[in-house]
Amino acid sequence: MFDYKRFAMVLGVMILLPLFIGLFFDAIYLEPKYEDFCSGDRYSMPEKAMPASCIEPPSQLKCVSKGLSPDGSQLFDCENTGSGVKCDDTFATPEVKDCLKNEGSPEFSTDDSCCQVFESCNYCSRDYQQVLKVYNRNLFFILAPVGLVVIIIGIMWGVEYMGAGFMFGGLITLFYATIRYFSEMSKLLRAIVILIELLIIIWLGLKKIGAGREGSEAVLVGKSARQKRRR
């Protein structure tokens, strides 16, 4: 008969344990915030002062999309078609090319001819991403061993349904730790990490679960032999 109480215990431990582990380490090991590195909205370019003659009437301002900057904001190359001045392609300048090559976000101002002029290269988003990569790497090396320890506790726990809850909770913790750092790994490192985790889980399972079954079978065989001798 299906035991709903034990199933509820397994489900509760399986969900709440990794949630507690994640929240606990998030509280003591703070994740870097974008706002600590860059000012303003994450998905918009900083606004620069522009002469009124360059934006009136709006139909005379022609902007061409130049794709996305490293921080995800849209880049535009704009010129005033009504001024009679032909503006150079700002993104063809060596400064802008070098900025984009180094994962920066170019910032522009507008000159008296209503043309976009490169002003500076903002590297705040690149700096944030570099710090975030280190954070995710460290978090992986913290949570992955914790997940393995929880799995071992679950395997060793004498109460079967509680052990199952810890094993599932440890697997979820291990999966979460791997996902946090997965995008930063090389393809080869991804395969190696997954293989190592799989081998560890298989070894632990065979070490404990397999041994437990063999012990149970030995007990049953012993009982059967004693019953036959009594007969």
DSSP string, 171-215: HHHHHHHHHHHHTTS-HHHHHHHHHHHHHHHHHHHIIIIIHHHHH
Maximum separation of any 2 CA atoms in the chain, in Å: 113
The tens digit of pLDDT for each residue in 170-187 reads 999 999 999 999 988 889
> Per-residue pLDDT for 142 more than 50?
yes
Q: Check: pTM over 0.95? Answer yes or no.
A: no
pLDDT of residue 106: 87
pLDDT of residue 71: 57
pLDDT > 70: percent of the chain: 68
Inform me whether the pLDDT recorded for 123 exceeds 60: yes
In tens, the pLDDT along 90-120 reads: 788 888 888 888 888 888 888 777 778 888 8
- Cα separation of 102 and 129, whole Å? 13
Torsions phi, psi of 184, nearest 5?
-90, -15
- 147 pLDDT above the threshold of 80: yes
